[in-house]
Amino acid sequence: MGKALMIGAGGVAGVVAHKCCQNPEVFQELCIASRTLSKCDALKAKLDGGKTKVTTAQLDADNTDEIIALIEKFKPDIVINVALPYQDLTIMDACLATKVHYLDTANYEPPDTAKFEYKWQWAYKKKFEDAGITAILGSGFDPGVTGVFSAYAQKHYFDEIHTIDIVDANAGDHGYPFATNFNPEINIREVTANGSYFENGKFIETEPMSIKRVYDLPQIGPKDIYLLHHEEMESLALNIKGIKRIRFWMTFSESYLTHLKVLENVGMTSIEPIEFEGKQIVPLQFLKAVLPDPASLGPRTKGKTNIGCIFTGIKDGQEKKYYVYNVCDHQACYAEVGSQAISYTTGVPAMIGAMMVLTGKWNKPGVYNVEEFDPDPFMEALNKFGLPWIEDFNPTLID
């Protein structure tokens, strides 16, 4: 049916590639392109032998002309961007120049400021409409499946959704004193930023990690959850009509937070360059270099993740509650595709989003967040491709 160019060859890319190859009717050809060619070739070696034809290419995705040249050579139907958020705009520019569909899992970030905002990418809406191509933003788990869950709740269970609590829990243990589950630079920028939640039409900022609750998660048990800012709140606040409050919660252990506090206090999480032995270095990038590579956590991580959304609202004049979540087992993911559950829960929805575009189910010119499409075919695909979801119509609410 189609050809996909995947940019990036890290943790998430590994899962996307395996999942595309499990779905050869849709993905007939896959080109894996990234900065380090040897990583693309190593990934290709794990995939060979299936029906999907896999090729590789070296690519600096900070350079739009290089991306355009590769697109013109490979002629993909869609570009799946699972490099880093810094590359989103150069890749979108290349897609516009060549009229090829675009999909990513994280909003654009300027390298010098951590913002977690969609404004730069939403500014491309008219250009994508005029070019007749689709851009799908944030098709990972959160953002991604959390938006699809919201659209599904809206479509099937509510006349009006009033509150959404997104709860992202990782009860996995990798045995290291401190490591991040995905790209450390992006992860640490996310958790050291101010928190925020949406209430009555506006975002309210909070000090980092200052709001904490305990929530008893299905199949995981009671966990400390902390309120964070997260990018999908920005689009859900616009796309879920009548919404009054949205909060995002993530689990962190005492030990993780203590390590992070120390690193922060000594200046290691800063993104301001400093001079060291005559060279400019960014402390957070140096920290990334000394921490375990997230890709190496796969074989060591045991336990489960649980990510879902708790909704309250009104249906037929009655108050209603609804919780929908997925539970993923780190070791089962590793046995299937050689990655832990964090990369797995991001990579599967990226493949499904690309499948929605290639099969014409989510194909409309412009720039969209996932909750703006029909959730049903995506929800069906989650069950089929390894992220089955569970519904609870009487969940405990978070105060």
* CB 231 within 8 Å of CB 117: yes
* CB 353 within 8 Å of CB 3: no
Q: Give dist(CA 7, CA 243) in Å, integer.
A: 35
Tell me how far, at minimum, the Cβ of 314 lies from ligand NDP, in Å: 29
Tell me how far, at minimum, the Cβ of 355 lies from ligand NDP, in Å: 17
**Backbone phi, psi, residue 93, to 5°:** -60, -40
Tell me how far, at minimum, the Cβ of 265 lies from ligand NDP, in Å: 25
Amino acid residing at 392: D
Report the residue number, 118 or 158, with the smaller CB distance to ligand NDP: 118
* CB 20 within 8 Å of CB 4: yes
Residue 170 token pair: 């990782």
Report the residue number, 164 or 313, with the smaller CB distance to ligand NDP: 164
Report the residue number, 188 or 260, with the smaller CB distance to ligand NDP: 188
Tell me how far, at minimum, the Cβ of 317 lies from ligand NDP, in Å: 36
Tell me how far, at minimum, the Cβ of 154 lies from ligand NDP, in Å: 20
Report the residue number, 86 or 157, with the smaller CB distance to ligand NDP: 86
Tell me how far, at minimum, the Cβ of 204 lies from ligand NDP, in Å: 23
Report the residue number, 262 or 281, with the smaller CB distance to ligand NDP: 281
* Alpha helix ranges (H) inside the chain: 11-21, 37-47, 64-74, 88-98, 119-122, 125-131, 145-156, 184-192, 232-239, 254-265, 283-290, 330-337, 341-358, 376-384
* CB 327 within 8 Å of CB 390: yes
* CB 155 within 8 Å of CB 376: yes
* CB 330 within 8 Å of CB 172: yes
Report the residue number, 38 or 396, with the smaller CB distance to ligand NDP: 38
Report the residue number, 94 or 96, with the smaller CB distance to ligand NDP: 94
Site residues, ligand NDP (CB under 6 A): 7-13, 34-36, 39, 59-62, 82-85, 87, 105-106, 138, 140-144, 182-183, 186, 294-295, 346
Residue whose Cβ sits closest to ligand NDP = 10
**Backbone phi, psi, residue 173, to 5°:** -125, 120
Q: Give dist(CA 352, CA 380) in Å, integer.
A: 10
Tell me how far, at minimum, the Cβ of 140 lies from ligand NDP, in Å: 2
